Amino acid sequence: MGFLSTLLGIIGFGIGTSSGLIAGFFLFIYSKPKPVKEPVTRSLYELDNDALLDILPDIPLWVKCPDYERVDWLNKFVTDMWPYLDKAICAQIKSITEPMFTEFVGTYLIEDIEYDNLSLGTIPPEIHGLKVCETNEKQLVLEPAVRWVGNPNIVLAVKLLSFRITVQLVDLQIFMAPRITLKPLVPTLPCFATVAVSLLEKPDVDFGMNILGCDIMAIPGLYQFVQKTIKRQVASLYIWPQTLEIPILDPATVAVKKPVGILQVNVVRAQKLLKKDLLGTSDPYVKLNLTGESLPSKKTTIKKRNLNPEWNEKFKLIVKDPEFQVLQLQVFDWDKVGNHDRLGMQFVPLKHLTPYETKEFKLDLLKHTDSYDPQDKKHRGNIVVELTYAPFREDSVKLDATQDGYGRKESGFDRRYSENEVYSGAGLLSVLVQGAEDVEGEHHNNPFAMVFFRGETKKTKMIKGTRDPIWNEEFHFMLEEPPLNEKIHIEVMSKRTGFSLRSKEHLGNVDINLTDVIHNGRINQKYHLIDSKNGVIHVDIKWTTA
């Protein structure tokens, strides 16, 4: 029965594992269902109840369900493309299934399996309706209702004990309701990186199977058994939340670097620095930052008139790529007037660090990055730093359940840790301001958002001439402890582009309690703006810990 189920699942499996945009698109085409009788033109009022009940299953979903759209254009596209799709899909099916057939050779007395014929026929699948689902995530969710009453010509030849037996699949009818998710949405054509396909319910499949010219589906009890077996095996692979994911774009071309950990830096001391002041001393301080970041550099305090300063000052930096990022340290001499003189600099590649292990570095200061410069022979002193790289715990950002209608997600913490351990310690608060809807000013609509938290202010770019701005800007706050019982304040403002007495205008605001973020790990939600008639802002907030 395992061989029979594998054989009957060939078409769906082959299309399902196709790669590329077209393959992903055809995944929801492969799942197609039932037969349509030649229509008889009669008015509905002429039909009795029994006749009406008979035609109800064949009425398209766009007629019965108002949230499904009619997609005649898409069916026309599929019809015109079907001869080419047939060949492309069959080639994919063949390349995938032939290695599978070899697994059966030698078992059940099977000596060989090969295709005598492989074609999906001349009748394309038909989409009876398409629903587009709204979500708070960066994705597009499509739910087509697909029917396929096909005339495939699929013939397998099985060599069994020197006998050649032909197995033919006939009268194939499929009805499926797949969910197709294009995610994540990215600013690179075709604007999504992956196609994820799952089934919302078990498919309806009807078919006949001729072996040596006889329809074995006519055997009593066998038809129902095969139907159940196929549905069970297909369901085990693709029923939601299980998905088949098809990559469309190379991850390297669309990757947006996300924080993966925290670098803790302790600037301990410097020794034998250069004398830059007239009195034979210097006023040193240290600037530190990670390469690949546009954030302002961190700075130590200034040690006046000291060539051997002791700082012992600690900083936390956000790490996005520990394999390639480098910590840059620059020592400056502070001057009250004019530019500050650089006393020296050094670099520490993060790949030299072992996670959670504190490592001390004593570094000779260089004039610039070219350490082989023959003119850079002057001794500039050294600097001592202690570095610890702490990756974020995977469980701290695990998302696994939808909690409410806004698409809010929740994540559990690792049960190996106590609640006090989970809700304590340093972490990163990430605030993604995705966009707003129906924000309207009295005098102008050039909205931007401002995020206020613990005395810091972050600001998105301004979008001109719109009531529905899309910002997609993320801001980070490094915190020593979870912001329990705290709120983050967000305001939406509008700014006139030219000169005006009313240059700025308040469009609405919201205060978000961060306690839920700490307990859930993430909140992705739309909030109604205070002081706005219909305005809504979409915010995604995460709390990740090391």
In tens, the pLDDT along 189-217 reads 888 889 998 888 878 878 778 876 676 76
pLDDT at 408 over 50: no
pLDDT at 396 over 60: no
The answer to whether 323 touches 329, Cβ cutoff 8 Å, is no
Amino acid found at 162? S
pLDDT at 274 over 70: yes
The pLDDT of residue 499? 65
Query: What phi and psi, each to the nearest 5 degrees, are found at residue 131?
Result: -115, 130
The pLDDT of residue 412? 36
- Calculate ∠ Cα 104-119-147, nearest 5°: 100
Interval 9-21 mean pLDDT:
38
The pLDDT of residue 19? 33
Among residues 161, 169, 64, 155, which one has the least CA distance to residue 118? Answer: 155
Among residues 73, 107, 89, 123, which one has the least CA distance to residue 2? Answer: 107
The pLDDT of residue 371? 55
Residue 112: pLDDT band with limits 50, 70, 90: confident
Contacts of 259 (CB under 8 A, 6+ apart): 318, 319, 320, 392, 428, 430, 476, 544
* 155 vs 212, residue with greater confidence: 155
- Calculate ∠ Cα 495-496-497, nearest 5°: 110
* 408 vs 515, residue with greater confidence: 515
pLDDT at 310 over 60: yes
Lowest mean pLDDT among 33-37, 132-136, 381-385, 453-457: 33-37
pLDDT at 511 over 60: yes
Can you say whether the dihedral through the CA atoms of 167, 171, 175, 179 is positive or negative? positive
pLDDT > 70 fraction of the chain, expressed in percent and rounded: 79
Interval 285-296 mean pLDDT:
88
Lowest mean pLDDT among 38-47, 363-372, 427-436: 38-47
pLDDT at 33 over 80: no
Interval 12-37 mean pLDDT:
39
Lowest mean pLDDT among 138-147, 150-159, 365-374: 365-374
* 414 vs 451, residue with greater confidence: 451
Q: What is the mean pLDDT of the chain?
A: 80
Rounded to whole angstroms, the Cα distance separating 120 from 150 reads 7
The pLDDT of residue 30? 35
pLDDT > 90 fraction of the chain, expressed in percent and rounded: 39
pLDDT at 535 over 80: yes
Query: What phi and psi, each to the nearest 5 degrees, are found at residue 241?
Result: -90, 5
Query: What phi and psi, each to the nearest 5 degrees, are found at residue 541?
Result: -120, 135
Rounded to whole angstroms, the Cα distance separating 545 from 423 reads 9
The pLDDT of residue 57? 67
pLDDT at 486 over 50: yes
pLDDT at 463 over 50: yes
Query: How many Cβ atoms from other residues are within 10 Å of residue 486's Cβ?
Result: 16
**DSSP classification of residue 239:** B
The pLDDT of residue 389? 94
**DSSP classification of residue 530:** B
pLDDT at 55 over 80: no
Interval 438-445 mean pLDDT:
89
The answer to whether 142 touches 105, Cβ cutoff 8 Å, is no
Residue 39: pLDDT band with limits 50, 70, 90: low
532 three-class SS: coil
Q: Which of 101-110, 159-168, 407-416, 461-470 is predicted most confidently?
A: 461-470
Interval 117-127 mean pLDDT:
92
Lowest mean pLDDT among 307-311, 341-345, 412-416, 471-475: 412-416
Interval 430-446 mean pLDDT:
92
Q: Which helix (H) or strand (E) covers residue 146, if one does?
A: strand 140-149
The pLDDT of residue 369? 67
Residue 514: pLDDT band with limits 50, 70, 90: very high
